[in-house]
Structure 1
């Protein structure tokens, strides 16, 4: 094997393919043609003398050789990026932690943790981005993220089957909640009985990966009436405030509910538990990573308080 002629472009393309999960998505992200992406990967595999990506019907994943190359490529690319920032007078990589988070974590949890870090560690730079669980896990594997906040639901399986397993820490485990218009009859009490959810109108979003609706209470024994489709959590909550229907929310979003919304527990039937996980690769976190992880844990505990009454 001979890496002497391997270009930085090939390494960046390789990392992007691993992160995006398909050649097509990587090409779109980079602004390349798919054939150009394929050529870069082929040149890297020739230099390695091994297949670096396993081509599957549902996309690609790193082979054992690919994981070795990715680990080394990440070090090289991060050093190059840090050098460019230093030459530009921007903060260096040594003070940066890269964080990924699932959509609803961006409404309360992440801002709360970042605000705390600005007070305790003003020199620490956190670069963050939102994504679904599959994308965040691929980014961790590709070395593009240091930490990721993930949501998990029963039966609480690992987020992927790759080896070695990711390190997963449960920050909170709480029951799913229901967002109800404040003027709705169901908002009069301190909880909603699951039997009273039959015949209600719902605000949902489609989850194509699992072909189910997010926002409808799980396990309803009827075909739900979907009044509105929205992907954004805050858009859903404002539709609830406008009287458009009901929607489910994780407990950590209760603090972000706008006026006109009550976020209530549901009683009766099996409890719908949700876990908030902090994930990273199976190696010790840096001191900076540990500080960010600590701030996220503290913020998660702060959101784990009883829901305030909404007016």
Structure 2
């Protein structure tokens, strides 16, 4: 085992592979060829004297040795980057917190939390990015995110099977809602009965991908008629406003609903609960990260107490 000749490039490539989950995705993110990524990983594994990644059909998974190297590699990369900033005369990033968020959180929750932090704690810099749950969990494990705001649906399984388990804090839990055109017959009452959803037209997200995006009410005993598919949540809500169909929404999106949309609860059948959770690596939080976590929780509670 000899790490004396390991390059910083190899460490960066390894962290990117761990975060992206495949050699192909890592190569695309770094602007390298896949063979160049493979060579860097091979050189690192030779230095470690053992495999760092399990190669699987669906991608790669860190071995026990890989977890150790990733933890140390992230520390080295962060220290080198901090040194480069200091030598360049740039301000230190000790107050920088990196946050990942699930699709739709950017409509209300993240902007509200960031705005509150800028008012109360202007020295804290928040860097955010949207991603699927698996991608954000990998980024947490790779050390390129400090916090991840995620949506969780029943049966509320662990976010991954790696060790140590991620620290997961439930921010809110509330029932799924239904977005209905204001002129639709279902919009006349204060709720929708689940039996009334049979035969409706739906607007949903793509069924493929790492996360199954919501759109059709869960558990319908018929094949739904899907008229429109859109990944963007606001696009779906504007299609609802145009009278193009119904879609499901998490309660946190209620404040973002455009004119012409009613957001209603559904009664009857199993209750469809949704949790907002904040995930991170185990261990103590830095003071800036703790303040960001508190701001995200306050924004989530405020958004989900909207009528």
- On the 8 A contact 2:134/2:210 being kept in 1, the answer is no
User: Aligned equivalents of 1:87 and 1:198: distance in 2?
Assistant: 64
Aligned residue in 1 for 2:23? 23
User: Aligned equivalents of 1:37 and 1:23: distance in 2?
Assistant: 7
User: Aligned equivalents of 1:126 and 1:204: distance in 2?
Assistant: 31
Q: Secondary structure at the match of 2:245?
A: coil
Aligned residue in 1 for 2:61? 61
Question: Structure 1 residues 47, 284: closer, same or farther in 2, change over 3 A?
Answer: same
- On the 8 A contact 2:167/2:282 being kept in 1, the answer is yes
Q: Secondary structure at the match of 1:214?
A: coil
Question: Structure 1 residues 223, 57: closer, same or farther in 2, change over 3 A?
Answer: same
Deviations 1:7-61 (A, max 9, x none): 1110110000000000111111111111100000000011111111111122111
Q: Does 2:246 correspond to 1:240?
A: no
- On the 8 A contact 1:22/1:60 being kept in 2, the answer is yes
Aligned residue in 1 for 2:176? 176
User: Aligned equivalents of 1:303 and 1:213: distance in 2?
Assistant: 20
User: Aligned equivalents of 1:210 and 1:147: distance in 2?
Assistant: 19
Give 5+ residue unaligned stretches, structure 1. Answer: none
Aligned residue in 2 for 1:267? 267
- On the 8 A contact 2:181/2:240 being kept in 1, the answer is yes
Q: Secondary structure at the match of 1:172?
A: strand
Question: Structure 1 residues 46, 237: closer, same or farther in 2, change over 3 A?
Answer: same
TM-score (normalised: structure 2): 0.97
- On the 8 A contact 1:97/1:126 being kept in 2, the answer is yes
Question: Structure 1 residues 5, 121: closer, same or farther in 2, change over 3 A?
Answer: same
Taking the TM superposition and a 5 Å limit, the aligned residue runs for 1:186-205 are: 186-205=186-205
Q: Does 2:95 correspond to 1:70?
A: no
User: Aligned equivalents of 1:191 and 1:122: distance in 2?
Assistant: 42
Deviations 1:239-296 (A, max 9, x none): 1111110000000000000111111110010000011010000111111111111111
How many residue pairs were aligned?
307
Could you tell me how far 1:90 is from its partner in structure 2?
3.9
Aligned residue in 2 for 1:2? 2
Q: Does 2:177 correspond to 1:167?
A: no
Question: Structure 1 residues 276, 121: closer, same or farther in 2, change over 3 A?
Answer: same
Could you tell me how far 1:209 is from its partner in structure 2?
4.5
Q: Does 2:223 correspond to 1:223?
A: yes
- On the 8 A contact 1:78/1:93 being kept in 2, the answer is no
- On the 8 A contact 2:255/2:306 being kept in 1, the answer is no
Q: Tell me the C-alpha RMSD between the 2 structures.
A: 1.3
Taking the TM superposition and a 5 Å limit, the aligned residue runs for 1:270-285 are: 270-285=270-285
Q: Does 2:114 correspond to 1:101?
A: no
Question: Structure 1 residues 196, 63: closer, same or farther in 2, change over 3 A?
Answer: same
Could you tell me how far 1:213 is from its partner in structure 2?
6.3
Aligned residue in 1 for 2:256? 256
- On the 8 A contact 1:99/1:129 being kept in 2, the answer is yes
TM-score (normalised: structure 1): 0.96
